[in-house]
Amino acid sequence: MQKVWITGASSGIGLACALRYAARGAQLVLTALPGGELDAAAGKCRDAGAAGVAELPFDFSESAGLPALCESAWNAFGGLDVVYCNAGISQRTLVEDTSDAMVRKIMEIDFFAPETIARCVLPRMLAQGGGHIAVTSSISGKFGFPLRSAYCSAKFAVYGFFETLQAEYYHRGIRVTIVCPGRVQTAISMSALDKGGKPHGQMDPGQAGGISPERAAKTIVRAIDRGRREVLVGAGELTMVYIKRFFPGLCARLVRRIKPQ
C-alpha cells in the first residue's frame, strides 16, 4: 500500500493525481490552503477508495512552518513512499509591473517550499531505504515567457535543484521526477498575481484549450511509477521545448511574437 503526500491537492493536477492514487487504495496526505476545497478533495479521495486520508492545510507563503508540516506528513501514516510537490502560483505582469514582494512570494511558494520539503523528507527516505520525490516545474522552466518573469525564474530554479538532488542521491534509492506541464485546464491563471498583487481572475484562452487535469494526472502518475527523470505534460505546445533545445534562436523569436495574455 503506497503512502503518498501531495501538495496543491485541492484542485487541478494535484486533485486528479490524488484521485488516481486513491483508486489504488493508497494512503494519502493532502495539503492545500485551508478551507472547503481541501475538505471536498479529501472526501472525493475517500469515496474513490483511498485507504486513509489525512488533511494538512497550509499556506506555502509562510515558510516558517514547513519543517513541522513535513514531520506531520511523514507521521500521518508512518512514512511516505511518494512526495509530490505540486503547489504553485503564477503571475500575469510585465517585468516593470512586477514588485519585489510579488517576486518573493512566487519564489517562496514555487521554489523555496518544494526545496525545503525535499530537504526535510530526504533524510527520512534515506533511512527507510529510498523513496520518490516529484515536483511540478513547467515548460516555462525551460524558456522565458511573457508576463511570467518571476514564475519562470522559480521554475528554472526548481529544475536546477531537483536535477541536482537526483544526481546526488539516485544511487542511494532516491528517485526524482520533474513534471513539466504545458497547457492544462486548471485554475492557475485565475489565481495568478496581476498588477498590484491581485488575482488575475481570468482563464487564459490557451489554457482553456489545454488537456484535462485527469489526462495530465494519468501521464504524471505513470511517469512516477516508472521512475522517469522528467515528464512533459500537454499537447502541441510541448514542441517549444524541443525547438528551444535544438533551435534556441528560433525559440527566442517565437516567444517574442507571443501576444501577452
Residues 231, 144, 64, 201, CA torsion sign: negative
| 201: CB partners within 8 A, 6+ apart | 190, 194
Which listed residue (151, 159, 169, 242) is catalytic? Answer: 151
Separation of alpha carbons 114 and 87, rounded Å: 8
151 is catalytic: yes
- The three-class DSSP label of residue 257 is coil
Residue 198 vs residues 35, 162, 203: alpha-carbon distances, Å: 20, 30, 15
Pull the grid cell for residue 228.
522517469
| 257: CB partners within 8 A, 6+ apart | none
Residue 135, amino acid: V
Q: Which candidate, 7, 30, 29, 178, places its Cα nearest to that of 86?
A: 7
Catalytic residues: 151
